[in-house]
Structure 1
Amino acid sequence: MSRTTLPMAAVVAGALATTAVVLTTTPPQRPAIELTAGGNGATVPFTEHEAEAAAHSGTRIGPDFTQGTPASEASGRQAVTLDGRGEHVEFTLTRPANAIVLRYSVPDGSSGSVAVYADGAKLKDLPVTSEYSYLDTPWIAGSRTHHLFDESRLLLGRDLAAGAKVRVQLDAGSVGAITVDLADFEQVATPATRPGNSVSIAEHGATANDGSDDTDAILRAVAAARSQGREVWIPAGTFEVGRAMAVDQVTIRGAGMWHSVLHSNNPFRNDGQVVGNIRLHDFAVLGEVTERVDDRPDNGYHGPLGAGSVISGLWLQHLKVGVWTMSGTTSGAVIENNRFLDLAADGLNFNGRVTDSVVRNNFLRNTGDDALAMWSLGGADVRDTFENNTVVQPNLANGIAIYGGTDITVRGNLVRDTNALGSGIAISNQHFIHDGTFAPLAGTTTVAANTLVRTGAMNPNWGHPHAAIRVDSYDRPITTPVNLTGNRIVDSPYSALQVVDGGGKGNAVTDLDVSGAEVDGVGTVVLQAETTGQGRFTDVVATRVGTRGFYNCAYPSGTFTINRGGGNSGWDSQWTDCSSWPPRDDPGGSLPGGNLALGKPVVAGGHTDVYRPANAVDGDANTYWESVNNAFPQTITVDLGAVTAVRRVVLKLPPSASWGARTQTLSVSGSPDGSSYGVVVGSAGHRFDPATGNTATIAVSGSHRFLRLTFTGNTGWPAAQLSEFEVHAT
């Protein structure tokens, strides 16, 4: 569920692998983060390779945490843009593979393909489109156009060994431009064989790949299987489901999520109570949902599951929601080993009256709302668990959200790169619909052993951020125990832990216990307390802390009582100005996004040979921009994307000793709109010396969107030279 709030003053096992081997441009920032995520998250059969960590001839963008930008919606907040023929990203496989999933963004309104090569030989063209991207949800306060990326999958037609080089390239006839975020590589098994005790939908008239509606044939097969005590078999191929099918007490099995496909926006819908024992295994549901319409059940599975149902091994893509349980009760359900991709709203939502059920070992990426949610509307969700799932880039709302419910557990999950209006994990008493049926938090809520990487976001409705983990008494006080135990928070762009009444009424949180938390990098504060109540904090260890240790300014009045046990360190200092939110800091340059100019658009008065302006914002001190020779003055201008308070500019030349010391004479100008510039720092000589890092730091002031350097001299070369043009807010 998205927020409408009041303003306020692996390799394959364990955690998902996300790095490639070949690094011919710039290495990924802090590459060990995803590989040392404490064993959290889903075990998956593919290896994820980030484009910015691969060899490429494009332009790296990001890191960026600005809502609505491609880099902010990229995994790792970085990606590579290709916009010229022959430009490419080349991945080196670390495991055998015969299939690729490409996560990409193309300009709105465009479709086409990109070429896929292996070791220099073209294999196939991979279709790409913007059809399922660029979603607008104006009824959700604070949302902007989002869902900028999509994913396309392709069987390569051959087995590739570890070490093979797979290139994604713009050829003649390819789409005009593409931003590549990542590629998943997988060794897909051949289609499974039909079980002996099964009824094939083909025997009842379903025909693969012919575009005709197979709904009636599938329903005939379901009826026959139920009457004979057998399973339903979906062979390899694509089958059209033109209307939703009610199913109960039946097993439906496919030949594998890469092979058996139901093409439908809503293949399964139960509008009333069912008995249960519904078992859906090993096929894909591929929809055509291009906009989010909340009163349409455009979901892979919609309705109650009854008792003892299982959904396993499904690929759910281009739907509104993957699984939404409502209109009845669900108990003892198991949702496991599925992939939820490119959904307009939630991945999965237990929408009330779900008991003793578990969601585990699922992979979710690019959802348009909460990736995993429990929403106790119409009755409490009770004793349910979200366990060992991986969530990547929900681009509106939270990674995992619990809205009410009794004795709920969130354990062992990995959540990365949440975007606008959301936290990594949210524990909340927000109703959304005030019809008297919401069941608030009760019993004990347990959030344990989760890892959250680059989670939390600035809430545009508040002007304050959501933290990586948020406890929110939005509509009702939280009076029952909420235990946050052994969680790891890495590189949160703003804060790590938050206690808040997002409705602004001052509802208290009175029984919070935080123990064994590891906080490794925050942009502002470790604890963001914004309502009344009390909490116990034991063994909370923080490093690389941004502005201060904690903020305690409850709205509308009062403060939160912080009871410190033993073992706490790194977050003693307090931000005391309750009239303003602490600005982001970048301790030691270690947080992604500290350099505001990194990957941003840049232009110059000219350049020589391959020494183009983009080299000055690519994060690699060994590449550089060089202006036209003997043609001073020369300018280079970076667009930060929004008017931003800036405090320093860091200019670099390549660190190699072969770059002799030199003095460059330059001035700094700023502009809010790119049309009129004012002098920020007057012209002066700045010395670059390899003995001291070949770096010059200039203190600046004011708020600017565009910053321009104007060079009038260089004692070491008759041109302006710059390997990095960094801009910092601190």
Structure 2
Amino acid sequence: MSSTRSVRSMPALGAVVALAAGMLVALTPAPAHAAAGATLPFTSVEAEAATTTGSTVGPDHTQGTLASEASGRRAVRLNSGQRVEFTVPRAANAVNVAYNVPDGQSGSLDVYVNGAKLAKTLPVTSTYSYVDTGWIAGSRTHHFFANSRLLLDRNVQAGDKVAFQATGVQVTVDVADFEQAAAPATRPAGSVSVTDRGADPSGRGDSTQAFREAVSAARGGVVWIPPGEYRLTSALGGVQNVTLQGAGHWHSVVRSSRFIDQSSSAGNVHIKDFAVIGEVTERVDSQPDNFVNGSLGPNSSVSGMWLQRLKVGLWLTGNNDNLVVENNRILDTTADGLNLNGTAKGVRVRNNFLRNQGDDSLAMWSLNAPNTQSSFENNTVSQPNLANGIAIYGGTDITVKDNLIADTNALGSGIAISNQKFLDPFHPLAGTITVSGNTLVRTGAMNPNWNHPMGALRVDSYDSPIEAQVRITGTTITDSPYSAFEFVSGSGRGYAARNITVDGATVTRTGTVVVQAETQGAATFRGVTATGVGSAGVYNCPYPSGSGTFTATDGGGNSGWNSTWSDCSTWPEPGQDNPDPDPDRNLARGRTATATGSQDVYTPGRAVDGDANSYWESANHAFPQALTVDLGSSQAVRRLVLKLPPQAVWQARTQTLSVQGSTDGSAYTTVLAARDYRFDPATGNTVTVNLPSGPGLRHLRLHVTGNTGWPAAQFSEVEAYLS
């Protein structure tokens, strides 16, 4: 799903402080959530953790840089003749390498096992990299890395050495996946082989018709795809009540950018154990360059597949009820890895590995009809380079559970729970959205449209308020370059994000804050512990100013993030402490203001907009009335300046009011008892109220019980100062 964002008028965030990133073996999650992520048949080793004669690139989180798209934000650059040597972590006979070469170039890496050069080389090319999506606001050239795999034709043991040496082209090596590929499976009894129908296992001839005939002949049974490479020039259709099975994805390979394209199916389709590798070099959304485009029908499954160099792995529309997608690898897609594009019911997407997507790696988008009772569970996502690791756009009773997500970039968070509709008819979030046991590593990114950052886990009331019950539990967030949890209305329209609970989170090293609240709404936090917080615990500045407040309720058991960023006119930069308070700065200007009532267009925000000619007026003939200003953090306010418009038409009047304060927005105490204050045009219609010394307050309330000049409370400006 395209992650286009509306441009918002927000202050810019400064330079990014790059965080150190160590070796990540098999993207192993923290021990507290050992179940997070997929159980994988391979072990990944970062190139920067290997021995090399090359140079390290990164770390860097800046969009458009090579290191920003690398696993761990670091990689190793090899000029011709330089090498990187890995210590093999497990018994293996196969390897997959994520790499980059300069745009327009191709070549190979020589391969050495324990010092001996193999006859085989590992091909590398820029053909499937350097993707541009100019129609997506804020995107730059991206998709720098690609994957190349090789059967070593020999067994290596843990502790052996496998080296890759550049020859004739510069290669940046990111990560190597070592695995023990199983021997080819044997043909199932009674199956229809595609070679019996004329398919060419050499890959030279066109096997499309042979596959179609085999699918038709095997209805109710198995289509067998023997070891070999098969070239398809167009997609299959009419696939139903059949199993398509290969000898294993290292052995049975289909070369095609479109495998199945059909709008409907009776279902009971099972696809397993082969590879589909495409030739997609750019993202063209009008083209169905997908492994599956449309519907497999109810009670179907996809398992044990290797899907690479496609636009989307699975773009699923129509009836896919009870579909299971499991144990697959989806690599190098120019758009989503998988998208449940509405109507999905009871779909389970689990134990898959996804790397290098050009949009959301896993997405549910409730277009036309809601996705319901579907889940993303125990998946491992690495390096989506233009959007989110996992994104839920609308839907009812959705689960995102025990996933491991690392290294998002540009327009994305690790997980996004959103009411961004993109198109109509859209079905917003409803029921209960369960986000449980997920581990997020180096997730969140600078949004170039907003000019400020996105959190590791984002709840976004983009096009409508969030009314669903959003339950976020057992989350581990590590090395977020910016914030951990973000609550925002990404369109800039200030829709509320409500009914949110965050229970049992562990946050380790955030660049800025733990909670980034930018829209009205409410969330309760329980058992959220944080260490290594870069700037402050909370940034609470709903946008637009005056649109409402965000209430962060302390449900107990929280620690390490009790401070609040004090200046909503600036964004915290990673590692930047709260600015020193300026005693001459009006703490109320631009802050969120609410009131017990308003008359016509004279809304509360007009009392804090810095314009003495605009004003708030309460409901008429309805005393008492109150105006409340959220200062964003606890402040030792000592002086208020209250104003009415200075024009001569505003005659002198006396307002009777008391001053109240609160630290949490719910329990208020009286700071200054009620008294009469005279506003006189001769002295600028201005009143100064001195407050007694005492503890700081965050929420400032003026409680008005009378006005001699009009039957309502009125203020053109409420200013608050530290001295």
Q: TM-score range by the shorter chain?
A: 0.7 to 0.9
Query: Equivalences for 1:496-511 in 2 at 5 Å?
Result: 496-511=484-499
Match of residue 182 from structure 1: 175
Distance in 1, matches of 2:496 and 2:21, equals 45
SS for the counterpart of 2:212 is helix
For residues 406-442 of structure 1, what are the alpha-carbon distances to aligned partners after superposition, in whole Å with 9 as ceiling and x for unaligned?
A: 0000000000000110000000000111x3x111000
8 Å CA contact 1:111–1:175 kept in 2: the answer is no
Distance in 2, matches of 1:535 and 1:161, equals 51
- For residue 154 of structure 2, the aligned residue among 153, 158, 163 is 158
8 Å CA contact 2:351–2:377 kept in 1: the answer is yes
Distance in 1, matches of 2:514 and 2:414, equals 14
For residues 318-365 of structure 1, what are the alpha-carbon distances to aligned partners after superposition, in whole Å with 9 as ceiling and x for unaligned?
A: 000000101x22101100000000000000000000001100000000
Q: CA deviation at 1:29?
A: 6.5
Q: CA deviation at 1:6?
A: 2.7
Aligned amino acid, residue 118 of structure 1: V
TM-score (norm 2): 0.76
Distance in 2, matches of 1:29 and 1:582, equals 29
Q: Is residue 393 from structure 1 mapped to residue 387 from structure 2 by the alignment?
A: no
For residues 51-94 of structure 1, what are the alpha-carbon distances to aligned partners after superposition, in whole Å with 9 as ceiling and x for unaligned?
A: 00011111111110000111110000010111142x11100112
Q: CA deviation at 1:7?
A: 1.4
Distance in 2, matches of 1:210 and 1:430, equals 43
Match of residue 678 from structure 1: none
SS for the counterpart of 2:356 is strand
- For residue 260 of structure 1, the aligned residue among 226, 245, 252 is 252
Distance in 2, matches of 1:368 and 1:67, equals 13
TM-score (norm 1): 0.76
Aligned CA distance change for structure 1 residues 180 and 210 (closer, same or farther; 3 Å): closer
Distance in 1, matches of 2:234 and 2:525, equals 53
Q: CA deviation at 1:5?
A: 2.1
Q: Is residue 278 from structure 1 mapped to residue 269 from structure 2 by the alignment?
A: yes
Aligned CA distance change for structure 1 residues 210 and 347 (closer, same or farther; 3 Å): closer
Distance in 1, matches of 2:287 and 2:472, equals 36
Match of residue 304 from structure 2: 313
Distance in 2, matches of 1:125 and 1:482, equals 50
Q: Is residue 223 from structure 1 mapped to residue 216 from structure 2 by the alignment?
A: yes
Gaps spanning 5+ residues in structure 2: where? 11-19, 578-723
Q: Is residue 438 from structure 1 mapped to residue 432 from structure 2 by the alignment?
A: no
SS for the counterpart of 1:212 is strand
- For residue 248 of structure 1, the aligned residue among 240, 248, 257 is 240
Q: CA deviation at 1:161?
A: 1.4
Aligned amino acid, residue 131 of structure 1: T
8 Å CA contact 1:51–1:180 kept in 2: the answer is yes
SS for the counterpart of 2:196 is helix
Aligned amino acid, residue 278 of structure 1: V
Match of residue 214 from structure 1: 207
Q: CA deviation at 1:4?
A: 2.3
Match of residue 651 from structure 1: none
Query: Equivalences for 1:496-575 in 2 at 5 Å?
Result: 496-557=484-545, 558-575=548-565
Query: Equivalences for 1:566-715 in 2 at 5 Å?
Result: 566-585=556-575
How many residue pairs get aligned? The number is 561
Distance in 2, matches of 1:214 and 1:31, equals 39
How many percent of aligned residue pairs carry the same amino acid? 58
- For residue 89 of structure 2, the aligned residue among 71, 90, 94 is 94
Q: CA deviation at 1:197?
A: 2.4
**Which structure's CA Rg is the greater one?**
2
Aligned amino acid, residue 580 of structure 1: T
8 Å CA contact 1:27–1:52 kept in 2: the answer is no
Q: CA deviation at 1:157?
A: 1.2
Q: CA deviation at 1:559?
A: 2.4
Aligned CA distance change for structure 1 residues 75 and 482 (closer, same or farther; 3 Å): same
For residues 542-580 of structure 1, what are the alpha-carbon distances to aligned partners after superposition, in whole Å with 9 as ceiling and x for unaligned?
A: 111001101000011332011111101111111121111
8 Å CA contact 2:24–2:46 kept in 1: the answer is no
Distance in 2, matches of 1:164 and 1:268, equals 41
8 Å CA contact 1:524–1:584 kept in 2: the answer is yes
Aligned CA distance change for structure 1 residues 334 and 33 (closer, same or farther; 3 Å): closer
8 Å CA contact 1:263–1:286 kept in 2: the answer is yes
8 Å CA contact 1:400–1:425 kept in 2: the answer is yes
- For residue 47 of structure 1, the aligned residue among 36, 43, 49 is 43
Match of residue 399 from structure 2: 409
For residues 280-320 of structure 1, what are the alpha-carbon distances to aligned partners after superposition, in whole Å with 9 as ceiling and x for unaligned?
A: 01000000000000010000011022210000011000000
Match of residue 626 from structure 1: none
Distance in 1, matches of 2:380 and 2:109, equals 28
Q: Is residue 110 from structure 1 mapped to residue 105 from structure 2 by the alignment?
A: yes
SS for the counterpart of 2:206 is coil
Distance in 2, matches of 1:291 and 1:282, equals 27
Q: CA deviation at 1:35?
A: 5.2
8 Å CA contact 1:27–1:53 kept in 2: the answer is no
SS for the counterpart of 1:343 is coil
8 Å CA contact 2:203–2:228 kept in 1: the answer is no
Match of residue 650 from structure 1: none
Distance in 1, matches of 2:272 and 2:111, equals 31
Distance in 1, matches of 2:310 and 2:23, equals 33
8 Å CA contact 2:110–2:165 kept in 1: the answer is yes
SS for the counterpart of 2:513 is coil
